[in-house]
Structures are given as C-alpha cells and as structure tokens.
Amino acid sequence: MAEVNQGGGGGGRGKKGGGKVRAKKQSTKVDMTPMVDLAFLLLTFFILTSTFNKPKTMEVTMPDKVKDETEQTKINENDILNIVLGDKDKIYYWTGLTPPAEVTNYSKDGIRKLLLDRNRENPKLMVLIKPQDESRYNNMVDILDEMEITATKRYAIVDFTPDDKAIISGNLEDVTTETQTK
C-alpha cells in the first residue's frame, strides 16, 4: 500500500501547482497505530490472564480408619511431636506424653524452626497434627505446607480429644490414663 502511494507522490512531483493533481496526491493510507495499540493491549491481557490464573494444589493422603486395634502401629512416645492448631492462629505443641504445652505461631521462626530442629535431632520424628474445631482452614493448609517445607516425612492429622484440650489449658490432672498408655 505504501509503495503505491509513494509512486503516486513521485508522479505528482513534476506537475506542481495543479489542484486536481494535488487531490491525487492525498494519501490513502490508514493510520494503523490505534489498531495496533488495541491489538497489543488485548495480547497483553490474554497473556497475563492465561499464565497467572492457574490454581495450585496439594495432594493429601489420609489414613484409612482402622477398626482393629491390633493393626495400629506402635510408636515410641519420644518420637511424637503433638501440634494443636488453636484459635487466633496459635499453635500449641508438646513432645510425646510430657506436657506442659508450649505456644508458638506460624512464622518462620516459630513452627518452621521448631520442626527443622526436631527433625535434625530425631529423624524418626512423627508429627501428630490436631486441628481444633475453632481453627481455620488456612491453619491446616499452612501446617501441611510447613511439613512439605521442612521435609517432615511422617505426619498425620488426628482428632482433637478432650485430653488434648486439658493439656493445652494446663489442667494436667484432668488427663485420663488412656492417653498416657496410648
């Protein structure tokens, strides 16, 4: 298109001054800039939306419910780290069957450091995650994420029992012997 116009322009060079010839010289070119602007705007939009909108997912495998008590695996109590997910983003933790429970949080220096330290001390560490009904779903995802980050291999989500409730509230005499022997 541009070439044709230039040719027309060259032809008109010799006949300077003629009004009719001037009209021929008028460009038939369309300014494509706004169209290009729009095209690139759309292009940018589609590129951004298509790459940044992919939801990620965590794979979770839960243990089946064991009906027979004898099928349950026995674990040394010293290998167990209990983690209770409390309300207001608090984490209570204690080792094995020896309370009192201590409190930490979801920050890098909180639960992540604890898990890394415990993992280093004891490679056979088993983490029992006990979410309270008051805790948020975000807490559960966070703690599962921390397991992944700290490369904790053995962990399980288990039910929060009244005994656990007694432990985190500090009433140690309420703890029944059932927990002690489990």
Partner 1 sequence: MAKVKVHRSSPSIDMTPMVDLAFLLVTFFMLTAAFAPVEPVAVDMPKSESEIILPDRDRIIISVAKDGRVFFDMDNQGNRKKMLQDMGAKHGVSFTEEQLNSFAVMSGFGIPVRALPQYLDMAPDERDRVQQPGIPADSVNNELADWVVFGRLTNPSKIRIAIKGDRDSNYKIIKQVVETLIDRKILRFNLITNLENEAGA
The site for partner 1 (CB under 8 A) is made up of: 1-2, 5-6, 9, 29, 32-33, 35-36, 39-40, 42-43, 46-47, 49-50, 53-65, 85, 131-142, 144-145, 148-149
Complex with partner 1: residue 29 or 124, whichever CB lies closer:
29
Supply the minimum distance, in Å, between the C-beta of residue 137 and partner 1.
4
The nearer residue to partner 1, 20 or 54, going by C-beta atoms, is 54
Report the distance separating Cα 83 and Cα 101, nearest Å. 9
CB of 31 to partner 1, least distance (A): 9
CB 68 → partner 1: shortest distance, Å? 17
Beta carbon of residue 177, minimum distance to partner 1 (angstroms, whole number): 27
Backbone dihedral region for residue 54 (phi beyond 0: left; psi -120 to 50: alpha; all else: beta)? beta
**Cα radius of gyration rounded to whole Å, the chain:** 35
| Collapsed DSSP state (helix, strand, coil) of residue 11 | helix
Strands 126-131 and 80-85: parallel
| β 98-104/91-95 pair status | antiparallel
Q: What is the torsional sign of CA 139, 145, 147, 153?
A: positive
Q: Which is nearer to partner 1, 121 or 151 (CB)?
A: 151
Nearest CB to partner 1, comparing residues 79 and 89 = 89
